[in-house]
Amino acid sequence: MSGCDRVNAISPAPPASDASRDRGGPAQPLLIARDLRKHFKVQGGGGAFVRAVDGVSFTLFKGETLGIVGESGCGKSTLARLLLHLLRPDSGELVFDGDTVAEMRGISVNALRRQVQMVFQDSYSSLNPRMPVRDTVAFGPFVHGKGKAAARDIARSILSRVGLDPDLFGPRYPHELSGGQKQRVNIARALAIEPRMVILDEAVSALDKSVEAQVLNLLRKLKADFNLTYLFISHDLNVVRYISDRVLVMYLGAVVELGPVDEIFSRPLHPYTRALLGSRPSMNPEQRIEEPPITGDPPSPIDPPSGCRFRTRCPFAEPVCEARVPEPGAWTDRASHVAACHIQVPGSGHSQAVAAATGGNA
Amino acid sequence: MAHTAILDHSPTQAGEQSAPALKVRGYWASVVYRLRYDPVTLFFGAIVLLIVLAAIFAPLLAPFDPYRESIIGRLKPFGWRNHLLGTDELGRDLLSRLLYGGRVSLLMGVVPVFIATIVGGSLGIVGGFAGKSVNTAIMRTMDVFYAFPSVLLAVAISGAMGGGITNGMIALSLVFTPAMCRVAETATAQVKSLDFVEAARATGAGTFTILRYHILGNVLGPVFIYASTLVSVGILLASGLSFLGLGVRPPTADWGLMLSTLRQSIYVNPVICALPGAAIFITSICFNLVSDGLRAAMDVRM
């Protein structure tokens, strides 16, 4: 894998163990999710289910940052928990670096958790209030069989890597830290067991803008230092644009669009993505948004609309959208740009469907 | 894009962490620190300590044998023939009996609470953490005990098993266990749903590791506070049992029993009859106030 991985080239200190853990080589995606589903039973709902995640498939390539955006309640956080098996998927398949997860002849959930870590949104409740910061960070290595002293040494070095002086901050309790400092501790905790992939679930959303910028830059630096792959979940489009290589747009538990970040922001294919981008406040008061880009609330995930989920709010909805579920085109590599919309499928029956020549893929 | 330009600045962490090195205390050290500045708790804590010491060293402190009766010296007033607090209905020295009685009362207040904390606390933590059917099984069983008023339950159990200190303590333990279990269960279920437990699971920690390092420390506080309030209830209930003749047997010195036997003499020497009651009252209110102070010192927004 000589220099194929562009992150390796700029990494000042790649962890020694990384090469040995890279089983599939640079071409093998780090994580493949196939048709993940998670339905929650509604309490007292007479057998009704909330379709929180309803058939999500995507591929996470090594060394990239995949941003996941969508409205509140579209299943972003549930998806994150499915990927770590904190919630057990109802159906679907996870493939981590060529190995299926939690299946025969695959790797165990514990082996997955050695390599994938998560940073939670709520920096306060994700730290144990009765545990000094250094013990929180040392907990991961300790669980994975390092001695207490060795685990503390790791915690010291990781704390300094995230910009916290271990002597000053190590013995402190979470309530003695600011929001940004707490989130740095959470990042340190995630990195302490040397994962290859980090899921950042709204990791900077609760921070002040200035602190958010610092933490984002820290995340960028750590990604290079530790040779990481990020799955970055956020509702903040500007932040996603800043940090992501590719973007996945979710609506009501399903993928509506997936593509490189510049493509998504400059040439969105799906009407929902366009509405989402149009909802950003303009930086220029002369160009303020006059019309709402989208109206209404998302339909209930208990009983999503037939066919295309977005058709109830879509300005281009036609009978075909009600009749058939649009499938996102097949993606092949990092440059693929696909959308689950009948307009993007030639011959779908939609009056505005694109001609066959251009196809759905960019 | 302007926003991106701001983000592109190199990370400046100076503003975020230039705070001077503040003194870092552990949790229990900070509790002790706050208690030191709470005169009410300190005062009543000192009284509790005095009562406990007096009970422990009763054989050394008691001026007379608490069981030596005297036909002539019955129900005598304060100071009669060196009997500092007078004598009871059989002519026994009241001060000595109060000192010895404290031993039984404190024992019956503390031991059942301790047993209930261990048993109920662990059941509650298991139920709260396991959830689902395990939790239902444990908590519904506890609810059966809740169906009876606590005094009635204590009376019924010690009535069925017969009197005596041991049976009384068993009865009180059974009364306290469901309440303790419920407190531990609630606290555990609350902590369990917080992100740091999920984060610990995500690092690959097993159930016992999570329980030991993440749940226990956060549950012990509320459990400990609740236990300290139960001590005074325990003393009261134990006295009640003795008063009804279900606790210790005569002639053992016990505050509740003394209250019961002196009751008949209330028209002869009311002040002396009130003394065991006063001992019960002072002890339980001191325990209550101390546990209030503890709760305040431990209940920190963290």
Write the DSSP string, B145-169: HHTS-HHHHHHHHHHHH-SSHHHHH
In a domain, A74, yes or no: yes
| CATH number of the structural domain spanning residue A49 | 3.40.50.300
Task: Give the separation between CA A150 and CA B278, rounded to whole angstroms.
Answer: 58
At residue B301, the pLDDT reads 53
Whether B202 and A110 lie within 8 Å, measured CB to CB: no
Q: How many domains does chain A have?
A: 1
- E strands, B126-271, are none
In a domain, A145, yes or no: no
| Helices and strands: H and E segment counts in chain B | 14, 0
Cα A159 to Cα A133, A277, B14, B65: the distances in Å are: 9, 37, 15, 67
Task: Give the separation between CA B293 and CA B82, rounded to whole angstroms.
Answer: 39
Q: Evaluate if residue B172 carries a pLDDT over 50.
A: yes
In a domain, A109, yes or no: yes
Range with top average pLDDT, A9-13, A202-206, A277-281, B196-200: B196-200
Three-state DSSP class for B87?
strand
The model's confidence at residue A16, banded by pLDDT at 50, 70 and 90, is: very low
State chain B's mean pLDDT as an integer.
81
The model's confidence at residue A233, banded by pLDDT at 50, 70 and 90, is: very high
Range with top average pLDDT, A6-20, A221-235, B54-68: A221-235
At residue B84, the pLDDT reads 72
Q: Evaluate if residue A138 carries a pLDDT over 60.
A: yes
The model's confidence at residue A23, banded by pLDDT at 50, 70 and 90, is: confident
| Residues of chain A with C-beta less than 8 angstroms from the C-beta of B12 | 214
Q: Which residue has the higher pLDDT, B159 or A142?
A: A142
Work out the widest C-alpha separation in chain A, in whole angstroms: 68
The model's confidence at residue A146, banded by pLDDT at 50, 70 and 90, is: confident
pLDDT digits (tens, 9 = 90+) for A148-166: 889 999 999 999 999 999 9
Q: In what order do the strands lie in the sheet with A246-251?
A: A116-119, A197-201, A229-233, A65-69, A246-251, A254-260, A338-339
In a domain, A42, yes or no: yes
Q: Evaluate if residue B86 carries a pLDDT over 80.
A: no
In a domain, A16, yes or no: no
In a domain, A154, yes or no: no
Q: In the structure encoding, which two tokens stand for residue A284, read together? A: 């220029």
In a domain, A123, yes or no: yes
**Other CB atoms within 10 A of residue B43 CB:** 14
The model's confidence at residue A20, banded by pLDDT at 50, 70 and 90, is: low
Chain center to CA of A287: 31
Whether B302 and A175 lie within 8 Å, measured CB to CB: yes
| Residues of chain B with C-beta less than 8 angstroms from the C-beta of A165 | 17
Cα A53 to Cα A37, A74, A83, A320, A343: the distances in Å are: 5, 8, 12, 24, 24
* Mean pLDDT, range A178-198, rounded to an integer: 92
**Neighbouring C-alpha atoms within 13 Å toward the C-beta of A99:** 15
- DSSP label of B214: I
* Mean pLDDT, range B70-94, rounded to an integer: 75
**Other CB atoms within 10 A of residue B16 CB:** 20
Q: In the structure encoding, which two tokens stand for residue A213, read together? A: 């910028």
Give this complex's ipTM.
Answer: 0.78
Give residue B166's identity as a one-letter amino acid code. Answer: T
At residue B10, the pLDDT reads 40
The model's confidence at residue A29, banded by pLDDT at 50, 70 and 90, is: confident
| Residues of chain A with C-beta less than 8 angstroms from the C-beta of B3 | 238, 242, 283
| Helices (H), ranges, chain A | 6-10, 18-21, 76-83, 109-115, 133-143, 148-161, 166-169, 179-191, 209-226, 237-243, 261-266, 271-278, 319-323
Decide: B247 and B168 in contact? Cβ < 8 Å. Answer: yes
Cross-strand bridge partners of residue A29: none
The model's confidence at residue B76, banded by pLDDT at 50, 70 and 90, is: confident
By Cβ distance, the residue of B16, B21, B198 closest to A178 is: B16
Q: Evaluate if residue B18 carries a pLDDT over 60.
A: no
* Residue A287, burial from CB neighbour count under 10 angstroms (0-12, 13-18, 19+): exposed
At residue B96, the pLDDT reads 86
At residue B126, the pLDDT reads 92
Q: Which residue has the higher pLDDT, A224 or B5?
A: A224
pLDDT digits (tens, 9 = 90+) for A82-136: 998 888 889 888 898 888 887 777 788 888 888 999 998 888 888 988 888 999 9
Q: Evaluate if residue B237 carries a pLDDT over 50.
A: yes
Whether B301 and A193 lie within 8 Å, measured CB to CB: no
Q: Tokens 């609309």 map to which residue?
A: A305
Q: Which residue has the higher pLDDT, A301 or B187?
A: B187
At residue A172, the pLDDT reads 87
At residue B25, the pLDDT reads 63
Residue ranges making up the domain that contains A337: 23-130+173-344
Find, among A353, A255, A240, A233, the residue nearest to A37 by Cα.
A255
What chain B residue is nearest to A109 in terms of C-alpha separation?
Answer: B204
In a domain, A350, yes or no: no
The model's confidence at residue B118, banded by pLDDT at 50, 70 and 90, is: very high
Decide: B155 and B246 in contact? Cβ < 8 Å. Answer: yes
By Cβ distance, the residue of A130, A180, A193 closest to B203 is: A193
Task: Mark out chain B residues that contact chain A at CB-CB < 8 A.
Answer: 1-4, 6-7, 9-13, 15-17, 21-22, 24, 26-27, 194-196, 198-206, 209, 213-214, 217-218, 300-302
Whether the link from the prior residue into A132 is cis, omega within 30° of 0, is no
Range with top average pLDDT, A205-214, A222-231, B71-80: A222-231
